[in-house]
Amino acid sequence: MIRRLLSLAALLCVAATDPEPQSPAQLFGPLFDAVQMAQVFPDGKTFVDAVPKEDPAAILAAYRKAKPKTREALKAFVEAHFTLPAPGNGAPVPQEKLGLRAHVQALWPVLSRPALTPEPGNSALSLPAPYVVPGGRFREIYYWDSYFTMLGLKVDGQQAMVEHMLDDFVSLIQRYGHIPNGTRSYYLSRSQPPFFALMLDLSDARDPAVLRTRLAALRSEYGYWMRGAGCITAAQAACEHVVRMADGSLLNRYWDAREAPRDESYREDVNTGKVAAGRPLTAVYRDLRAGAESGWDYSSRWLADGKTLATVHTTDIVPVDLNSLLWAMERGIAQRCATLADADCAADFTRRAAQRRKAIDTYLWLGAEQRYADYDWRQQRTTPVLSAATLFPLFVGAASAEQASAVATAVRAKLVAPGGLRTTGNRTGQQWDTPNGWAPLQWVAIDGLAGYGQRDLAKDIAARWLATVDRAYRATGKMLEKYDVEEQVPGGGGEYPLQDGFGWTNGVTSALLERYPDLAAGR
């Protein structure tokens, strides 16, 4: 078994072409710690997005000489030596005469950015083609956000932008070996839910050279997620993103290559570590980072006691959504290899997908509760949290008809709220728990249910969600990052104020209105 895993790792090993740039925390050390812990700026992302006006070594030398102690002195020092980012103040588009979809279409040029070559010292990563940002404080591409944004771009006649963003993601994989959480140096140590295979399904490209380049990138990304297979041993059941299950099958978890506080949430992570009694700080920080990689930052899914962030243990969890997406990636690679007449590759990845689907059914299908669940590989049992992630096997087509019907029953009974789909049934104060609903999870549910013939439930969730988005838009003039689906008002919770813009909400709104034109009446 160990020899086979090492062989797999060698096969999938990817050599990135660019060295990984240092993050602001690594570049500015004591200055960075002082600025973030003093909360010089209300949002910890402000300083990590600032651009140094001179060489970092010179700035550090000036800091050691000046020794600013107070919050005001630190702020003055930063303002003298850095160019601060413009405030993330949403999308200034006139709303009074625009319906919901027209408003979304008017936002695409506002949220679009040209190809980027950042100045020296900028934490932003270069991108060779134009792209769309989520909005607000999120000034860069985010990985899984972009799939849902691209759904809307496609139906709104922005196919060229879809292709541009695919080119950007290919470039990132070629340079760094994976698509990072976002296009900043401080995000490079982790990825996000791997939607690249599904993004490729949105492309109109037919040029064999383009198809081969994108397939190579997809296989490289797969190698990133499976690299840990090479360091699993008889005494170590998990390494990096890979977990060896009791029967020898391989599934995946979220993981981050670093075990320090996140640059963009440094103060928050340090404070969480202070109250995480009895745990090594490095483990706490790694689990917080892995939670950020999941995109569900944060949720009761990752909390050992189901409610307290200090009990976060993301790396212990084998998540159903991640493994569903990796199954889709394996299937996508097999299909693309077949298209390009690579029979050996097609057969290999067809086999891998079959093995993963069997493992999903063995470990992540909870027959007693008729739903998919996450699995705690240390405790060797499923977790108790029912979440919208239970719909991911339906979304990618990995469920049987019987499983899909059972999931639909559970979702109808426990996750459908007045304003859309609940994220979980747990009220913890974390933003990826009730009462919040999120656009990507609505689409996953609606598309997955419809694909298994549960069309009435799918359309009911769509109608509830669109009513919530429309209601908040009429009240605020904005498209928001998340919504309270219990009260049908703007959402709350999380480490930063509610953001507007907003990429994935815009994309899902346009895609739903395209799919259900009768729900567009009055919008």
Give the residue numbers annotated as catalytic, written as ranges. 297, 481
What is the enclosing helix (H) or strand (E) of 47? helix 45-48
List CB contacts of 152: < 8 A, sequence separation 6 or more: 104, 108, 506, 507, 508, 509, 510, 511
Q: How far apart are CA 127 and CA 116, in angstroms?
A: 5
CA distances from 88 to 84, 184, 473 (A): 12, 16, 19
Q: What DSSP character marks residue 21?
A: P
- Choose among 14, 1, 508: nearest CA to 244: 1
Q: How far apart are CA 104 and CA 98, in angstroms?
A: 9
Cβ atoms of 161 and 132 closer than 8 Å: yes
Q: Which two tokens stand for residue 80?
A: 């003298």
Q: How far apart are CA 437 and CA 318, in angstroms?
A: 23
Cβ atoms of 253 and 237 closer than 8 Å: no
Residue 236, beta-bridge partner list: 233
List CB contacts of 196: < 8 A, sequence separation 6 or more: 169, 173, 179, 217, 218, 221, 329
Q: How far apart are CA 101 and CA 99, in angstroms?
A: 6
Q: How far apart are CA 183 and CA 48, in angstroms?
A: 12
SS3 of 77-119: the string is: HHHHHEECCCCCCCCCCCCCCCCHHHHHHHHHHHHEECCECCC
Q: Quick one: angle between helices 24-37 and 266-274, nearest 10?
A: 70
Q: How far apart are CA 169 and CA 338, in angstroms?
A: 23
Q: What phi, psi does 238 have (nearest 5°)?
A: -135, 140
Q: How far apart are CA 229 and CA 252, in angstroms?
A: 10
